[in-house]
Structure 1
Amino acid sequence: MEINNNQSSKNEKESSYDKKEFSLEVDSPQKVVIAEHLKRSPEELLKSLQPAFKAIGEMQERIQEVIQPIVSLQEGLQKTIRPLYGMIDDVRKRIITTMESIDFKKIHDAAMILEENTIRFKAIMLEIGFPPYDSIPLSHIAYFVRIYDESGTEYTKRFISRYMSLVVYRKEDIRYMQKKWQKAHWLEKRIKVLNSALEGHIHGYYDLTIPTLLAQIEGMLVEGILLLDEPDGRIGYKVQGNFLAQVILGDADTFSFDEEIEKFYTTIILAEFERGKEVKSELSRHAILHGEDVKYGTKLNSLKAILIFDYLFNKLDELYYDIENSKQEIRKRLKRTKKSHTRSNGNNTGKGHIENEKRYSKDKDDLKRNNSTELNSDQ
């Protein structure tokens, strides 16, 4: 019984505490005052909250001001881009229609004809003793080939000679070349001589211009070897020929005239001669400078010398644009050439080894003979 009485007393105390806390919570003086104030003066509460409401409204207006340009920009982009989509689709459809209408077989056939005409034109130019040049229009090249097929070598030679001297390389064209040479700083020490040669050509002093130009071609070539290559010993005509073929005129593309210019230089300008015998080349450097040929002084020969000089000038001017880089490229090219030569002369049998030894011995004899000829011709 005593325990039950204690428990009952404890429960009553807790209940009285809860009532007291509740009473305090409800009857808090501050809250009672606020509640009574709200009941009596709601207008004052609204008035006190008006600044907050106003700030929220201004914030909404600013947000709208920021959002509106973005929305306008988006709408503008959509209006701008929508027509572009249509244009792109139209272009795509036109491209498809155009591609479907192209006869690729005709294009291929035309390209084959153009390539064949170019190859034949280069051969024809060498046959008539004229250096091919890349300023001649492709339509004219096809015409020359047709003339050759219809009228033969002699008529074609006369026709192309007149064409080159009267149509393609007139006075104003020579002046253009002159200005181009004058702009090259590396020709500075030669430009006075070259100017005299071009003036002589324009005024018809071909007996004077040709020896001058031939000498300057060789001088320019040797200077290029010294700047770009690593010559070992005397720079004779064999070294010059190798430099021409491997470095300056190394483009074997169908539409490049490098190989033909190299052949013209080595077979016509560097053509040998024998004293007292007819000179076979119309522009032999040796026969002219050593006084054997005295009939060389023609306008065509002078023009040929100018064209050869200009062709080599263009090639060297490109290499001189970045000499160090050109040197590296030349070393790589010469290294590839040597490796290719080694593979082509490689031997897998004793017989191959003997053939290589014979070839090597023959090359040495040819080199000695060429150097001997050069020394004798220069004396």
Structure 2
Amino acid sequence: MMVYYNDYWDYYSELLAEKYPARKTAIHSAIDAHRSFAPAGYSLSIPVFLAQTDGIFSEVTGISSAMDKVRGQNAIKGSQWLSTQIAADEKAIGSLLPVLELHELDILKSQRAREAKVQETGKVFNALNRHQVIHGEVSDYGTEINSMKAFSFLLFGALHLPGILEGAKQRSAQNE
């Protein structure tokens, strides 16, 4: 993954700028920080990639704070909305399964789930976690692999998710 993205930074940078021109400066700044190939650059790029993913996910779904949990449920607002949009479209479900289960992934694991994982495994939770990074709970996240993970998360939400939704919408219209 790292070799691939290192070869295609410019390509993805331009795709993101075309699709989200208002986010171009923030995203390009984060890419530049990452490309400095230093822990300080990774520490700067990761929160920006994560914040832009949050914003784009809200834009795509039309839901304010789409990455937030649904009150009283073990689900993310945006994921719940996506489930209603794709209904029983098996192709879309297969493509979006990680997004439909975001609350289960380390990147969005809640504090309670992180604590349960520590209890279960006896190991410190040190995976990349959006909440811990954005809210300053950790400061040792600035690695190249974590920056790539955050960038990959951004690309999925910004470039792939809209296409998957459009495909599901078209298949639904054909079946009506």
TM-score, scaled to structure 1: 0.34
CA contact (8 A) 1:197 1:213 kept: yes
- Partners of 2:54 and 2:65 within 8 A in 1: no
Equivalent residue letter for 1:209: S
Q: Note the alpha carbon deviations across 1:64-105, whole angstroms, 9 max, x for none.
A: xxxxxxxxxxxxxxxxxxxxxxxxxxxxxxxxxxxxxxxxxx
CA contact (8 A) 1:261 1:308 kept: no
Any gaps of 5 or more consecutive residues in structure 1?
1-163, 331-379
Deviations 1:280-319 (A, max 9, x none): 2511111111111111111111101111111122234437
Cα pair distance change 1:201/1:320, threshold 3 Å: same
SS class of match (2:105): helix
Aligned partner of 2:15 among 180, 183, 187:
180
**Cα distance 1:297–1:258, how it changes in 2: closer, same or farther (>3 A)?**
same
Give deviations 1:327-351, integer Å, cap 9, x for gaps.
9x59xxxxxxxxxxxxxxxxxxxxx
Alignment deviations for residues 221-272 of structure 1 (CA, whole Å, 9 cap, x no partner): 111222xxxx6x9754331221344547x86449x54313544565222112
Higher-Rg member (1/2): 1
Query: Which structure carries more relative contact order (alpha carbon 8 Å, separation 6+)?
Result: 2
Residues 245 and 259 of structure 1 are in contact (CA less than 8 Å); yes or no, is this contact kept in structure 2? no
Q: What is the rounded CA distance, in whole Å, between the counterparts of 1:234 and 1:307 in structure 2?
A: 20
CA RMSD of aligned residues (A): 3.6
Contact 2:108 2:131 in 1 (8 A): yes
Match of 1:165 in 2: 2
Rounded to whole Å, the distance in 1 between the matches of 2:99 and 2:65 is 24
Answer yes or no: is the 8 Å Cα contact 2:57–2:158 preserved in 1: no
Alignment-mate amino acid for residue 165 of structure 1:
M
Residue of structure 2 equivalent to 1:218: 54
Deviations along 1:123-162, one digit per CA (max 9) or x if unpaired, are xxxxxxxxxxxxxxxxxxxxxxxxxxxxxxxxxxxxxxxx
Letter of the 2:108 partner, please give it. Answer: L
What's the offset of the Cα at 1:326? Answer: 5.0
The answer to whether the 8 A contact 1:207-1:298 is kept is yes
Counterparts of 1:100-111 in structure 2, within 5 Å, are: none
Which of 281, 284, 287 is the matching residue for 2:132? 287
TM-score normalised by length of structure 2: 0.68
Contact 1:241 1:266 in 2 (8 A): no
Q: Percent identity?
A: 24
Distance 2:36 2:89 in 1: 35
Amino acid at match of 2:23: R
Q: In the aligned structure 2, how far is the partner of 1:305 from the partner of 1:182?
A: 17
Runs of 4+ in structure 1 displaced over 6 angstroms? none
Q: 1:190 aligns with which of 23, 29, 35?
A: 23
- Matched residue type, 2:139: V
1:298 is the counterpart of 2:136: no
Question: Which of residues 51, 54, 77 in structure 2 aligns to 1:239?
Answer: 77
Gaps of 5+ in 2: 70-75, 119-123
CA distance in 2, matches of 1:303, 1:234: 23
Look up the SS of the partner of 1:280 in the other structure.
coil
| Residues 272, 287 of structure 1: 8 Å contact kept | no
Residue 111 (structure 2) pairs with residue 273 (structure 1)? yes
